[in-house]
Amino acid sequence: MDSIRTVAALARLEQIDAGWLRTGLDDAFALVAGRFKRREVRLRARACLHGLLSGLERKNGWTLAEYSGDRTPDGVQRLFSTARWDVDGVRDDVRDYVLTHLGDARGVLTGDDTGFQKRGAGSAGVQRQYTGTAGKITNCQIGVFLAYAGPRGRALIDRERYLPASWLNDPGRCAVAKAPEPARFATKPQLLQAMIERAVAAGVTFAWVSADEAHGGNGPLRRFMESRRIGYVLAVSCDHQITTGLGKVRADRVAAWLPAGAWQRMSCGDGSKGRRWYDWALVATTSPAHRLLIRRSACNPAELAFFLSYSPSPAPLAELVAVSGSR
């Protein structure tokens, strides 16, 4: 289902901006049709995609089946549970399609995890765990996603399911839920790293990686990108330690020391209510490649956010601000 959701996100771009992408939904689906070997599965996937992009108020097995003219949701459920099709192949086709239309040397790979709340215990990876989607600990599945953002638009290009250690320690449960059994447990930052590695191997054109605090605070992920000379602007916590000429200092302490003239008001891009304006400050560290980017609310100066940036070559403040806003 992850790939169907990804194809749906891609197809939605067609409806939004027909000026640069003029093919219809069926033409776009034709690019992945070969990944569905059986005609019945192929037609079912196309019908579900139409339903996912329709104006249906609720989109579940029953409503998608009714939209397609079926009397029961059995066919839809088979597509998402037992039908055989090349899930990773669809992912690669979607990625290539996105890069054909959105690829740019200034592109940003954006990583984030999303929770899907569930009521039962049978869905692969489900358990009580924290998800930012709900803002609390709840019964849910979690997926880690990678999006591509460029000057001409953005779309999802990859995904990984997060399997908690409790699931990996129960092979029988994994088998019943048809969950893939990786060789070892992978944290969310490790899943993001795997997707970045896939993007690099596939020749994806990009200049930066951005991600939230859960990934920005992960040292191994940062060191991996630095070893590949991949620039990043990653959110970090207020107590993240940076090394300055005065030694190691918390990020929020650095912000408190800054004079009024250190801040510049800039927009980090468009939001749902127009341009997003903040005050920004850029602080050097003892490493010429690393800097601390601080964002301050224009309405509430006490509201701060912190980003650690790494750039193999010098990057201006405006560029770092734009990357931080790509999420």
pLDDT of residue 271: 83
Which residues lie closer than 8 Å to 176 by C-beta, 6 or more apart?
122
Same domain, 64 and 148: no
Listed residues 52, 84, 102: the one ending a domain: 102
- Give the confidence band of 26 by pLDDT, cuts at 50, 70, 90: confident
Domain assignment present for residue 7? The answer is yes
Domain assignment present for residue 182? The answer is yes
Same domain, 122 and 190: yes
- Token pair listed for 296: 């301050």
Domain assignment present for residue 232? The answer is yes
pLDDT of residue 182: 66
pLDDT of residue 13: 44
Separation between Cα atoms, residue 223 and residue 206, nearest integer Å = 18
Taking the model in full, what pTM does it have?
0.87
Same domain, 46 and 91: yes
Is the pLDDT confidence value at 28 over 90? no
CB 206 within 8 A of CB 250: no
Lowest mean pLDDT among 91-95, 117-121, 306-310: 117-121
Domain assignment present for residue 214? The answer is no
User: pLDDT (tens digit, 9 = 90+) per residue, 146-186?
Assistant: 999 999 999 999 999 999 998 988 888 888 888 876 668 99
Lowest mean pLDDT among 17-21, 74-78, 133-137: 17-21
Separation between Cα atoms, residue 209 and residue 60, nearest integer Å = 34
Helix (H, G, I), strand (E, B) or coil at 258: coil
Same domain, 119 and 161: yes
Is the pLDDT confidence value at 21 over 50? no
The average confidence (pLDDT) of the chain is 89
Same domain, 83 and 116: no
- Give the confidence band of 116 by pLDDT, cuts at 50, 70, 90: very high
- Which residue, chain included where needed, has tokens 């003029």? 22
Domain assignment present for residue 45? The answer is yes
Domain assignment present for residue 194? The answer is yes
pLDDT of residue 1: 46
The pLDDT > 70 percentage for the chain reads 92
Same domain, 125 and 97: no
Number of domains in the chain: 3
Domain assignment present for residue 220? The answer is no
Which residues lie closer than 8 Å to 132 by C-beta, 6 or more apart?
113, 114, 115, 212
Region 290-309: mean pLDDT is 96
User: pLDDT (tens digit, 9 = 90+) per residue, 125-138?
Assistant: 999 999 888 889 99
Which residues lie closer than 8 Å to 321 by C-beta, 6 or more apart?
266, 267, 268, 280, 293
pLDDT of residue 5: 53
What range defines the domain where residue 4 resides? 1-102
The residue among 10 and 61 whose pLDDT is bigger is 61
Domain assignment present for residue 222? The answer is no
Same domain, 198 and 141: yes
Is the pLDDT confidence value at 45 over 50? yes
pLDDT of residue 248: 94
Separation between Cα atoms, residue 155 and residue 97, nearest integer Å = 10
- Which residue, chain included where needed, has tokens 């207020």? 238
Listed residues 57, 78, 102: the one ending a domain: 102
